[in-house]
Amino acid sequence: MIRNQVLKLAQHCVRMLGAEQAHDLSISALCAGLHPIAKEPDDPRLAVRLLGQKFPNPIGIAAGFDKNAQVYNAMHQMGFGFAEAGTVTPLAQIGNAKPRAFRLPKHRAIINRYGFNNEGMDAFQQCLKDAPAQGILGINVGANKLTKDKAADYAACIEKLAQYAAYITINISSPNTPGLRGLQVGAALDDLLARVVEARDKAARIRVEGNEMPKPLLLKIAPDVSEDHLDAIVKSVLDHRIEGMIVSNTTFDRQSVVGSSNAKQAGGLSGAPLFDRSTIILAKTRERAGRAFPLIGVGGISSGEQAVQKLEAGANLIQLYTGFVYNGFELLADVKKELIAAMDKEGFSRVSVLTSSNVQEWASKPFPTLPV
């Protein structure tokens, strides 16, 4: 009890620092074990079977929080159903010049242009060897800024790191690495998907109910896609038998934050203003990919109600980032509470029954206008 109050106070103080300093301090605190620990096991109704795993609950911490694979076990101990570490690139890189992360508190949003700052895949692998994952771990892979053949970087990370992961995310949707979102288009996407599947097929497999299956690959996309573009992405993903998608990364759109002091900062916008855009694209992806296709919904979840909405719009699992930064660890408990309340209200015995129960309402909205 007292420990939780001290942690709440610390959380409040951390928010008074600059966004990147606050993040660095939070990582140090988590590394030192200064975080709440979930005491009770999850309600069994929250469990989700997907991608060959049994997730204890459908709530994960999104990529970018634990870029260097330092705190995934702390996130599991806090009660997240899964953690996604990365984005990791083959070589260490320092990323863009600081400052490169900005809060927009009035809008409960963040703009970041980190540019894949990370210690590189060798250091990442060492962390995974030193602290084997105690829960479900996804690894999010990317390409170095200066690499010309970007697909080769994804393949290199997969070959080295797939053995430690429950799934691998192919992140081609960060707005902060020049040319990266270009990989979401046409022949470049087909070439990339063919090469990541080839790399994955060389890597270790997982055993599910006595059968061996390849490590699942998930493609993480931007919310700034047109109708034709989304049609083409989903077709390529299905053609190459990629196991799932994550919708979505941050947006270039600034319409909903006009007037905020940091609104004109370059980079990707996350948090509350992203919720509608990312949820519409999620539902439209669900419509195109079919009911059985694994989808992780992320973008703007700031409350338990929004977590329910994300599942209803088509997500099998959800992830938090900016909402977690603003609301702290209480958000995780609130989301679990709200998911249980939603199941009780409808008389559902499993959280997965919520998935896709309201795709139509979100998918029928027009594609959000594209940022210029």
Structural element, H or E, at residue 305 = helix 304-312
Q: Can you give the three-state secondary structure of 321-358, one letter per residue?
A: CHHHHHHCCHHHHHHHHHHHHHHHHHCCCCHHHCCCCC
* Residues 75 and 61 sit within 8 Å (Cβ to Cβ): yes
Q: Which of 56, 300, 304, 368 binds ligand FMN (CB under 6 A)?
A: 300
Question: What is the distance between the alpha carbons of residues 222 and 252, in angstroms, rounded to a whole number?
Answer: 9
* Residues 330 and 302 sit within 8 Å (Cβ to Cβ): no
Q: Which part of the chain contacts ligand FMN (CB under 6 A), choosing from 1-9, 151-159, 184-192, 315-323?
A: 315-323
Kindly tell me the sign of the dihedral angle through the C-alpha atoms of 270, 362, 236, 206: positive
**Residues 6 or more apart whose Cβ sits within 8 Å of residue 301:** 275, 307, 310, 318, 319, 320, 323, 335
Q: Binding mask 197-236 vs ligand FMN (x if CB under 6 A, - otherwise)?
A: -----------------------x----------------
Of residues 109-138, those binding ligand FMN (CB under 6 A):
110, 112, 114
Radius of gyration (Cα) for the chain, nearest Å?
19
- Using Cβ positions, the residue closest to ligand FMN within the complex turns out to be 64
Task: Spot the catalytic one: 26, 174, 248, 270.
Answer: 174
Q: Binding mask 34-73 vs ligand FMN (x if CB under 6 A, - otherwise)?
A: ----------------------------xxx--x------
Q: Is 256 a catalytic residue?
A: no
To the nearest whole angstrom, how small is the minimum distance from the Cβ of residue 276 to ligand FMN? 11
Q: Does 335 bind ligand FMN (CB under 6 A)?
A: no
Measured in whole angstroms, how far is the alpha carbon of residue 341 from the centre of its chain?
Answer: 25
Question: What is the distance between the alpha carbons of residues 154 and 67, in angstroms, rounded to a whole number?
Answer: 16
Q: Which of 11, 147, 250, 356 binds ligand FMN (CB under 6 A)?
A: 250
C-beta of 9 vs 17, nearer to ligand FMN: 17
Contact positions toward ligand FMN, by CB under 6 A? 62-64, 67, 87, 101, 110, 112, 114, 140, 171, 174, 220, 249-250, 270-271, 274, 298-301, 320-323
Which are the catalytic amino acids?
174
